Structure 1
Amino acid sequence: MIFSMRIAVFLCLCLCMASPALAQVAVFPAPSGKADAETLVVYSSLDEPLATPMIEGFQKANPDIAVHYEDMLTGEIYDRIVKETDAGKKTADFAFSSAMDLQVKLSNDGYAQRSDLAMSARWPAWANWRNTAYALTFEPAVFVYHKPSFTTEKPPATRAEFVDYLERHAKEVHGRIATYDIERSGVGFLFMSRDQEQFGDIWSVIKAMGAAGVKVYSTSSAILERVSDGRFVLGYNILGSYAADWASRHPDVGIVLPKDYTVVMSRIGLVPEAAANPELGRRYLEFFMSKEGQTIMARQLQIPAVSPEVAGENTANTMQAIHGAQLRPVPVSPGLMVYLDQVKRSRLIERWNEALRSQ
């Protein structure tokens, strides 16, 4: 096991002159013990304990490389890279974030460089934007439910069934339905924006949740905790990777991939244009995309792998074989930036709030 040292440092979050935020830094010395080892600098929104198996796998193949890992919020990653690049400074060698829109914006605005790798041509077309931004995970938005509450009927498996269930059980489920707060949750906003594109009657679903006294949260864990102990009966559009991890430890949590369509989001990796050591960044990205790296992702991190070369449980290959066209991955493309327009974003949030209040 590689020795990991944690130190807390204050980092300035620059966008809109926000106040400093606390980021976690983990240092993984080179396994070889080389004193003057090159250091890979990573900015990531993945919690360091989850990232550790991937780092250890990379260092096993690259024993002379140390890793400096900064665990921060998705907005911080974007802000740091832009500010450091614009100031003529060096920035991270690799950036990994669940904020698909911000990662694509970095790529589109010239803050990421091309990474032509062995797997580039074989990577799914929807998951590769010009060899600069790569989707590295395959994470569906799911319904979660409290199993003991569904002993006499099946949980809803489509949005129409979801609405029907809420209407038939109005009294029993009032205040016991949950979803993300799209004003505070980036992934919640992403899922809602895709819902609007994929499902013409989505506002009927939102209105039905409003009538059912839906509770909204910014984190998956807040919802899953309440579903697991029965305070909530259903959760809508919950990130599947977190739901699967929670269900593995809490047997009363059930998961449904909506049969009408299932939105799939991804965490995106890229090498910044101003990377201090871009070749190290590319080497880490290449490991992420390799069969070994994607297997670690699926089996140890418990995050579904996207690589077409990896099969078995918790992979895009297996999910696509089972669910086919039901799965709708979010393409890595400039289309993701539409709702970075503050007017469009505000309009969607306003309509969401109106729909929740309308009943």
Structure 2
Amino acid sequence: MTLKDMSPLAHAHAWPTLPASPTRRQALRAAAAAALAAAWGPGRAQTAGPSTSPPAVMTRFAATAREASVLRIDSSTDTALFAPAIRDFQRLYPSVTVQYTDRQSLDIHARALALAGARGAAPAVDVAEAPDLLISSSPDLQTQLANDGYALSHQSPQTRELPEGAHWRREAFTLGADAVVMAYNPRLLNPALAPRTRGQLLALLRQSGSPLQGRIGTYDALRSGLGYLLATQDSRFDSTASVLLAAMGASKARLGDHIEPLLDRLEQGELALVYNVPASYALARMAGGSSLRVIVPEDYTLLTTRVALIPASARHPELARPFLDYLLSPQGQAVLARDTRLLPVRQAVAAARDGRALALPGQPGPLPAAEGAAPSGSAWRLLSPGLGLLVYLDPLKRQRFLQAWATSLGVPGAGHGAGER
């Protein structure tokens, strides 16, 4: 883990790239991935190389006034994207230093269980570093923590104004939603051929001389918490999900446990299309001048959520509560929509419930910088925290699902790893 101290003035407008050195665990994963790659034959899906998950990186946002307290946050949102919200919060609470650690969602979950003393949890975590707030892109794992008694309830004027579907038991709160889309490189895939539905994607994969042969990418559900969630929800809403996976496997799909390296390969021309992309990541690149294009599927569109909770192990819940209220306030929601490109929670819930159109954040129009007609209300699939997301967290069901996923995709040797998330 690396630690960066950010001066409140010197870095007010420039958020640095956070470097990370390879860990021993990554080296072991790299060796295992190399062995698997050597064993796989033609027509098999392949990982996009060794584990691409960055190690945890801690950033300290110093108080702008005399420091009185430290708020610790574990989050799966990139630090650079969340920094403006932290700085805006510190304008309201200038004596609070924020220690923000960017972690993978699986790591956030494992550490929370360890701090709670859960049976079978990972090795003990230093209590002095216990986070006061958890923010994760895996609403299923956050729901599980709350359901198992590892979250504190929070009620305030801000939480009482939230619509049903934006929270679970006043313990797990949706901060925003992210449309799950397809992204493609127009230099490698003619826009006229770009699929608007999963059925069209399947037909394109099966086409002789398909431009997607060896050039389609998606999440590795065996190694990514969000990838697993999206794969399970595809199987829930699409009766042909296994057929699509098989076609991806036959096309030698490239798998990754983090979306950024897959998008890097897409921009570099190694991939032509990436399936199941959180729109916020692609839109951020497009805002920076990337030529990538985004397709909002017309058959149905998953809306995954960013969920926050105050863990029962928090040392300073009194600091987490005002920050959570800030994130849920109109001011905080506007900052999140602008800088993280998340859909505001109230708009996402209304769209899924009432069939309202959604605008992708940072762009004008109903579905700007994106292709495909806006799905009807019945086609939005909001993955908000709740008991329905716990179905696939049952250990036996999880193992069976991942074995079926790996078999459909043509990934060998999934039997042991399928029991791990």
TM-score by length of structure 1 reads: 0.86
Q: In the alignment, what sits opposite 1:23?
A: 56
Deviating more after overlay: 199-208 vs 300-309 = 300-309
Q: Are 1:80 and 2:86 an aligned pair?
A: no
Q: In the alignment, what sits opposite 2:393?
A: 340
How big is the alpha-carbon RMSD for the aligned residues of Structure 1 and Structure 2?
Answer: 3.2
Deviating more after overlay: 232-241 vs 288-297 = 232-241
For each residue in 1:19-57, what CA deviation from the matched residue of structure 2 results, as whole angstroms up to 9, or x when unmatched?
A: xx963322222212x25x122221222232222111101
Note the C-alpha offset of 1:168.
2.4
Is the CA contact 1:135–1:306 (under 8 Å) kept in the aligned structure 2? yes
Q: In the alignment, what sits opposite 1:145?
A: 184
111, 131, 142: which one pairs with 2:150? 111
Q: In the alignment, what sits opposite 1:124?
A: 163
Deviating more after overlay: 155-164 vs 92-101 = 92-101
Distance (whole Å) between structure 2 residues aligned to residue 327 and residue 176 of structure 1: 28
Distance (whole Å) between structure 1 residues aligned to residue 204 and residue 19 of structure 2: 49
47, 55, 60: which one pairs with 2:86? 55
Note the C-alpha offset of 1:77.
2.2
Is the CA contact 2:204–2:210 (under 8 Å) kept in the aligned structure 1? no
210, 229, 247: which one pairs with 1:190? 229
Distance (whole Å) between structure 2 residues aligned to residue 190 and residue 263 of structure 1: 11
Distance (whole Å) between structure 1 residues aligned to residue 102 and residue 266 of structure 2: 28
Distance (whole Å) between structure 2 residues aligned to residue 120 and residue 324 of structure 1: 28
Q: In the alignment, what sits opposite 1:314?
A: 361
Q: In the alignment, what sits opposite 2:408?
A: 355
For residue 218 of structure 2, what is the amino acid of its counterpart? T
Mapping for residues 224-235 of structure 1, pairs under 5 Å:
224-235=263-274
Q: How many residues were matched structurally?
A: 345
For each residue in 1:275-306, what CA deviation from the matched residue of structure 2 results, as whole angstroms up to 9, or x when unmatched?
A: 22222111000001011111111112333332
Note the C-alpha offset of 1:174.
1.4
Distance (whole Å) between structure 2 residues aligned to residue 82 and residue 305 of structure 1: 29
- Pair 152,102 (structure 1): closer, same or farther in 2 beyond 3 Å: closer
- Pair 79,313 (structure 1): closer, same or farther in 2 beyond 3 Å: closer
The gaps in structure 1 that reach 5 residues or longer are 14-20
Mapping for residues 175-324 of structure 1, pairs under 5 Å:
175-308=214-347, 314=361, 322-324=374-376
Deviating more after overlay: 112-121 vs 64-73 = 64-73
Deviating more after overlay: 134-143 vs 332-341 = 332-341
Distance (whole Å) between structure 2 residues aligned to residue 71 and residue 300 of structure 1: 16
- Pair 250,356 (structure 1): closer, same or farther in 2 beyond 3 Å: farther
Distance (whole Å) between structure 1 residues aligned to residue 360 and residue 291 of structure 2: 21
Alignment identity in percent? 30
TM-score by length of structure 2 reads: 0.74
Q: In the alignment, what sits opposite 1:18?
A: none
